[in-house]
Amino acid sequence: EPEVTQTPSHQVTQMGQEVILRCVPISNHLYFYWYRQILGQKVEFLVSFYNNEISEKSEIFDDQFSVERPDGSNFTLKIRSTKLEDSAMYFCASRGAGTNSNQPQHFGDGTRLSIL
């Protein structure tokens, strides 16, 4: 069964540095997402992306964050000038075509980001 792939599985970065989290969505999917889960807290929506632009973002997703689909297969989340509170598990998800949410989102295994 096709799956969403995320790399790396664990990223350790010094505070203030930039980090790029990478995702390869399922190949025929058109909608892409990032979520995060701070340890002990809920999974939170960050951003959705469709047709090469952001379709919705949460208040968490400020100017520190950006997303990009640099080619036909990758979907990246960049965090500039990382802070301690950015430490979390970051999940990428994708879904196929369909109105609103009537196609389920499929999630990757996540990247655990640790900011030191």
Partner 1 sequence: AQSVTQPDIHITVSEGASLELRCNYSYGATPYLFWYVQSPGQGLQLLLKYFSGDTLVQGIKGFEAEFKRSQSSFNLRKPSVHWSDAAEYFCAVGAQDKLTFGGGTRVLVKP
Q: Which residues bind partner 1 (CB under 8 A)?
A: 4, 6, 31, 33, 35, 41-45, 48, 50, 55-56, 58, 91, 93, 100-102, 104-110
- Other Cβ atoms less than 10 A from the Cβ of 19: the count is 19
DSSP conformational letter for 2: -
Query: Is 46:61 a contact under the CB 8 Å cutoff?
Result: yes
Looking at the Cβ atoms of 8 and 16, the one nearer to partner 1 is: 8
Q: Which is nearer to partner 1, 15 or 77 (CB)?
A: 77
Q: How many CB atoms lie within 10 A of CB 44?
A: 15
d(CA 6, CA 106): 12
What is the smallest separation between the CB atom of 46 and partner 1, expressed in angstroms? Answer: 10
Which 8-state DSSP code applies to residue 42? -
Comparing CB distances to partner 1, the nearer of 28 and 41 is 41
What's the min distance (Å) between Cβ of 13 and partner 1? 20
Q: Report the nearest approach of partner 1 to the CB of residue 53 (Å).
A: 13
